[in-house]
């Protein structure tokens, strides 16, 4: 004999997990949208530059820009 209550309970559990996933994704999008800075570059600036061999200068504030806190 098929018990429909079990099927309905499984469906409620599945829908609860889907609702939780959607809420977590919405929160992640909201956090990402509020914490990232838009990157703007001039139209004539190339997005990729080639450094010749031996040219490995690191600016003094490199750690602050990458890690977002002073070293």
In this structure, how many other beta carbons lie within 10 angstroms of the beta carbon of residue 63? 13
pTM over 0.85: no
pLDDT of 17 higher than 90: yes
Are 33 and 26 in contact by the 8 Å Cβ rule? The answer is no
Query: What is the spatial distance between Cα 32 and Cα 28, in angstroms, rounded to a whole number?
Result: 6
15-29 core/surface letters (b: 16 or more CB in 10 A; e: else): eeeeeeeeeeeeeee
- Tens-place pLDDT, residues 18-71: 999 999 999 999 998 888 766 666 666 656 666 666 556 655 555 555 555 554
Task: Return the pLDDT at 10.
Answer: 92
């Amino acid at each position: 004999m098929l018990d429909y209550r079990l099927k309905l309970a499984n469906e409620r559990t599945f829908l609860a997990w889907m609702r939780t996933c959607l809420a977590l994704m919405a929160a992640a999008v909201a956090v990402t949208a509020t914490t990232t800075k838009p990157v703007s570059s001039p139209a004539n600036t190339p997005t990729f530059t080639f450094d010749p061999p031996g040219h490995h200068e690191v600016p003094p504030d490199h750690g602050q820009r990458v890690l977002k806190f002073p070293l």
